[in-house]
Chains A and B, each alone.
Chain A
Amino acid sequence: MPIPGAMSSQGTEFTTQTALDATIPVVSFESVSMRYGQSPEVLRDLNFTLAPGSFHFLTGASGAGKSSLLKLIYMAARPSRGALRIFDRDISHTPREHLPFLRRRIGVVFQEFRLLDHLNAFDNVALPLRIAGRKVEDYQADVVELLEWVGLGHRLWAMPPTLSGGEKQRLSIARAVVTKPDILLADEPTGNVDHAMALRILRLLVELNRMGATVVIASHDQDLVARSGMPVMHLEDGQLSTLAPAASPPPATNPVEEIE
């Protein structure tokens, strides 16, 4: 699999936006709980950290709180209790107007894709760059190369409704990584695709991790999780029951290579 050198506007290899201190976790949960409105807590007393460049699976049954945990990390929700730090910033007390700049360092791949149906594949991927104020002539080549990297180089102008599930998922991944995020979150990225496509998508995510991104994949595909050999965080009834191995970077050689 080629390295997506095009992801950098300078044509260099993918690197994270800012140099991260390897000793400071990119994500830190300290007795964090979360509830929606006045409903019971969906997450309770979570304590864990994610080291820069680590790779984790997040598992748990439906309703265990996987998506809610991811929401906390990508700041679509705030904790009801506890201290949540993202990039060493206390999110509970960060003003709303500062959040967009933190969100730009986080890429999210949604199970339901969340592509904009009225924009073509190119424009969907370019969206975070337009939001960041980049000009089309500056990012055009990068976006095209990125789409080629995810295997959609021939579908630049295709509208999302005309894409297959696997293509939508890869398009969603391309949009999530186009800004070279420090953290990449994927919510059931293989939930809508067949096994071969699931392996292909996992391979993309592992490659991104090798380039420096901290990756968290929420999945209940036990087979995929087992084959990856990556650390697993398991949620059960809103509580993190296992974390093994704890917040460590992926091994130099990992079992995912078997699918490459």
Chain B
Amino acid sequence: MTVQHHPASSLQGAAILPLKDGRDGGLIFTIAVLSFLACIAVIAALAADRAAQGWAKQLAGSATVQVRPAGGQSGPEAAAQAAEALAGVKGVLEARAMDRKSAEALLEPWLGKGNIPADLPLPQLVTVELDPEKPATAAALNQALSAAHLNAAVDDHSRWMADVRASSDTVRTSSAIACLLISAAAGAVIAFATRQGLAARREIVEVLHLCGAEDPFVARLFQKRFAGLAMRASAYGALAAAAVGAILRLTGGSDGFSPALPIAWTDLAACVAAPVLGAIVAAVSAHSVAMAILREQV
């Protein structure tokens, strides 16, 4: 017989469940993919939210007033009077009557340069730059125009802002639902793996029980094992998602992937949470399934 010599300090309890399992590869791949999808969903949601905030800020910072000349007053005169009246309103930084050349420039994309007849009536517009801190309300602008006896319509972009906010909320909600569904899928995968693991390790579980192990002790073994495995797999998926995000950020310049989806470096930090959340989902799922199965035994 071979005599083996080891330092007494090496007498440490080895893992009660075998560390390696032939089925781990598939499980790691599946959880890594789920983690990748969840991270991409969160990154996209953060970028979309940032884009929506940018649009809303731009819209909130300005208003457009269309003036209708009356009483023999010319269009440019009415517009100039309106700009003067609006400039004095609290919360307005600047009000500027748009001249015909600027109005024609707005139509050029649709009608082409030089194709606008000189006698074509164009709306008399006043662009109003609002104080971003305390912007003037549409009611205040209307009041100033009425006081100046001007017939005009104020567009403070509130309709568009509502649409932008609704779109932003939809993206955020969709992302949250996607993350929840992905977490549930990960939990279901772990539950299935735990069931398989308990069946495959039935003899070990029996020995543990015969040695006096309580159900929570056995369940904790599976919980620890699958939480560790899920943490590792989620980290792989998160790393892949962060790499994709970094590539989009680098290839898209300062705007990120596109101005419509401006990815920031800070968005990638969201991937850090994936391994922790993956481990928590796996731990809860494995423990509850293991306990349910063990309770069915003698």
Contact = CB atoms under 8 A, between A and B. Distances in A.
Interface of A: 74-78, 96-97, 100-101, 103-104, 108, 114, 116, 118-120, 122-123, 126-128, 130-132, 136, 140, 144, 154-158, 175, 179
B210 A74 contact: yes
Contacts of A175: 211
Interface of B: 1-4, 6, 8, 11-16, 18-19, 203-204, 206-215, 217, 295, 297-298
Contact of A104 (B3, B6, B212): B212
Contact of B212 (A101, A136, A140): A101
Contact of A140 (B8, B14, B204, B297): B8
B206 A76 contact: yes
A155 B4 contact: yes
Contacts of B208: 127, 131
A130 B220 CA distance: 14
B203 A114 contact: yes
A101 B207 CA distance: 15
B4 A108 contact: no
Nearest to A77: B298
A104 B210 CA distance: 8
A116 B8 contact: no
Contacts of B11: 122, 136, 140, 144, 156
B13 A108 contact: no
Contacts, number: 80
Contacts of A155: 1, 4
Given A97-B215, A100-B213, A179-B212, A123 B4 contact: no
**Which 6 residue pairs across A and B have the least CB separation, nearest first?**
A104-B212, A128-B211, A118-B18, A154-B3, A103-B212, A100-B214
A131 B212 contact: yes
Contact of B6 (A136, A156, A179): A156
Given A118-B18, A156-B6, A108 B210 contact: yes
Given A100-B214, A120-B14, A122-B11, 13 more contacts: A74-B210, A75-B298, A96-B295, A96-B297, A103-B211, A104-B212, A116-B16, A127-B16, A127-B211, A136-B12, A144-B11, A155-B1, A179-B212
Given A116-B204, A126-B13, A131-B217, A100 B4 contact: no
B212 A119 contact: no
A126 B16 CA distance: 11
Contacts of A126: 13
Contacts of B210: 74, 76, 103, 108, 114
B83 to A, nearest CB: 82
A123 B204 contact: no
Nearest to B217: A131
Contacts of A74: 210
Contacts of A76: 206, 209-210, 298
B212 A100 contact: yes
Given A76-B298, A157-B4, A158-B4, A100 B14 contact: no
A86 B3 CA distance: 41
